[in-house]
């Protein structure tokens, strides 16, 4: 497999690895929805297993270029959660009206 193909595959695996916790994060952002800690741990465990299986599969199939795949996967994962953390921060801090913040 070519390096460009491995980079694209790494990006796709990084996004797929984000899906279980991202779904739960979106549920937590909804007003009135309480998310259980057990649901959060389960989603993180599923994400960890998915990403680990992806790395191991690439390592077993294409041993030479596993670094490029892993870097693309991890960078996509971190970029996704950097954006989501900003969304969470804004959702938490934008709840007060503008005139109450000045006082």
Q: Which domain holds residue 56?
A: 3-88
Of the CA atoms within 13 Å of residue 40, those in its CB half-sphere come to 8
**CA 34 to CA 80: how far, in whole Å?**
23
Say if 8 falls within a structural domain.
Answer: yes
Give per-residue pLDDT as tens, 39-52.
999 999 999 999 99
Give the total number of structural domains in the chain: 1
Say if 95 falls within a structural domain.
Answer: no
Q: Is the pLDDT of residue 101 over 60?
A: no
Say if 14 falls within a structural domain.
Answer: yes
Q: CA 40, 66, 64: angle at the middle one, nearest 5?
A: 165
Mean pLDDT of 28-39: 87
Of residues 98 and 79, more confidently modeled: 79
Say if 102 falls within a structural domain.
Answer: no
Q: Is the pLDDT of residue 103 over 70?
A: no
Q: Which of 33-37, 51-55, 64-68, 95-99 has the lowest mean pLDDT?
A: 95-99
**CA 13 to CA 71: how far, in whole Å?**
11
Say if 78 falls within a structural domain.
Answer: yes
DSSP 100: H
Say if 13 falls within a structural domain.
Answer: yes
pLDDT of residue 99: 47
Say if 34 falls within a structural domain.
Answer: yes
Give per-residue pLDDT as tens, 68-92.
999 999 999 999 999 999 988 888 8
Of residues 30 and 11, more confidently modeled: 11
Q: Is the pLDDT of residue 98 over 60?
A: no
pTM for the model stands at 0.80
Ranges of H-type helices in the chain: 3-29, 37-61, 66-93, 98-102
Let me know: does 15 contact 80? Beta carbons within 8 Å: yes
């Amino acid at each position: 497999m070519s390096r460009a193909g491995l980079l694209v595959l790494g990006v796709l695996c990084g996004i797929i690895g984000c899906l279980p916790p991202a779904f739960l994060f979106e549920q937590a952002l909804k007003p009135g929805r309480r998310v259980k800690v057990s649901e959060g741990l389960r989603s993180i465990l599923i994400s960890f297993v998915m990403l680990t299986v992806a790395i191991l599969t690439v390592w077993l199939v294409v041993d030479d270029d596993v670094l490029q795949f892993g870097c693309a996967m991890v960078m996509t994962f971190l970029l996704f959660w950097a954006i989501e953390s900003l969304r969470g921060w804004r959702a938490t801090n934008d709840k007060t009206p503008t005139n109450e913040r000045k006082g």
